Structure 1
Amino acid sequence: MQTLDNFLGRLGRWLAWAAVACLVLMMVEVCLDVAGRFLLSMPMPSTLEIVSEWWMPALIFLPLLNVEWRDENIAVDILHQRLNPRWRAACDAFALLCFGLFLWLIAYAGFEQAMRAARQGEFIVGMIPVITWPPRFFLPVAGCLTGLLCLVRALGAVRVAVTGRGGYLPNTLDSKGSHLG
């Protein structure tokens, strides 16, 4: 399980870097659009469509796996932090299973929509036609991979809840995969 967790962590970092590249490209595109609009009276064609259909979904969905792998989702743990480690692990296992199931359901629905868009060759007509079906796959891919990570982490949390040993989050493991505390 630790090997799969580490693989998903590396993949999550690559996807986060892809999102960073999309952010840079989006900033360059918007700056060129604004400069062209005000300096040359020639805006870049279909900037709004490209930003909203390509760059924004990439920025939202591509880093999702990395955020979950690093355990950086927003959490309110007023009671959670007061539980003993085994009960905390049991609560985490339940939450991870629920979140993973939710992500898989969203990914399934997103995959159906992405396949429909791909079959139709979906595009938007702005100043130039913008193909919009490829970024529809960002949600199902990110949701499926993050759901898989949640399952792996939930199994680790169940092991901690039952045995009191092991870890399931990167910040609770030492270099040998043992629980730190």
Structure 2
Amino acid sequence: MKPILRALSAIEDVLGWLSAAAMFVIMLIVFCDVIMRYFLHSPLSWAYDLISLYLVAAVFFLSLSAAYTEGAHVNVDILQQSFPPPAIRLTELLTTAIGALVFAFITYFGALRTIDAYASRDVLSGAIPWPTWPSLALVPLGCGLMTLRLAVQFIAQLLSLVTGRDVVPVRIGHGEGEHFE
């Protein structure tokens, strides 16, 4: 199980760096657009489309699985804080199973939409005919990795529950000394 967890973490790290690079490119484009707009009176006409179509989607979908792994998603765990570790593992089994199913559907239908957009050569109308499929491809990529992460997490929680060994640690609370009641 550890090699699978390491490989998945390595993929998440690479996509996390790509997500950070997309965020950096957004900042550079916005900076250049502001300079061009207010000082040279010639804004970058393509900036909004590039940022909104490709880069924001890349930031979100490429970091989705890594954010889950780090516990950075919203987590309503007020009841879990009072549960013993085996009960927490049971709730994690339930939520990872449901989450994996939901993200598998998103991955499947996102892939179908991406293939359709590619086959029909969908583009945005405007000064630059931006193809839509690269942006759409980020959905099944990010959600597919999230599905895989949730499936691995489900198996790891199940193994931890059955064997009594911590394959993955139990997350209790938000941090050292933090409890919300």
Same fold (TM > 0.5): yes
TM-score, with normalisation over the residues of structure 2? 0.88
Quick check: 1:37–1:43 contact (8 Å CA) kept in 2?
yes
Aligned twin of 2:133: 133
Residue type of the alignment partner of 1:9: S
| Structure 1 unmatched ranges of 5 or more | 173-181
Quick check: 2:118–2:133 contact (8 Å CA) kept in 1?
yes
Shift of 1:113: 0.8
Structure 1 residue matching 2:124: 3-state secondary structure: strand
- For 1:20-39, what aligned pairs fall within 5 Å after superposition? 20-39=20-39
Quick one: distance in 2 between partners of 1:106 and 1:125? 26
Quick check: 2:88–2:170 contact (8 Å CA) kept in 1?
no
Aligned twin of 2:6: 6
**1:52 partnered with 2:52:** yes
Residue type of the alignment partner of 1:111: A
Tell me the percent identity.
24
- For 1:154-173, what aligned pairs fall within 5 Å after superposition? 154-169=154-169
Quick one: distance in 1 between partners of 2:90 and 2:170? 17
Quick check: 1:61–1:139 contact (8 Å CA) kept in 2?
yes
Aligned twin of 1:43: 43
Quick check: 2:122–2:131 contact (8 Å CA) kept in 1?
yes
Shift of 1:169: 4.4
Aligned twin of 2:92: 92
For this pair of structures, how many residues does the alignment match? 172
Structure 2 residue matching 1:131: 3-state secondary structure: coil
Quick check: 1:103–1:143 contact (8 Å CA) kept in 2?
yes
Residue type of the alignment partner of 1:10: A
| 1:18-59 deviation digits (Å, cap 9, x = unpaired) | 011111111111221121122112111221111110111011
Quick one: distance in 1 between partners of 2:6 and 2:171? 13
Give the CA RMSD over aligned residues.
1.8
Quick check: 1:114–1:137 contact (8 Å CA) kept in 2?
yes
Quick check: 2:122–2:133 contact (8 Å CA) kept in 1?
yes
Aligned twin of 1:124: 124
Quick check: 1:9–1:65 contact (8 Å CA) kept in 2?
no
Residue type of the alignment partner of 2:151: L
Quick one: distance in 1 between partners of 2:109 and 2:169? 28
Aligned twin of 1:76: 76
Quick one: distance in 1 between partners of 2:170 and 2:23? 27
Change (3 A) 1:158 1:170: closer
Quick one: distance in 1 between partners of 2:35 and 2:121? 32
TM-score, with normalisation over the residues of structure 1? 0.88
Quick one: distance in 1 between partners of 2:79 and 2:133? 43
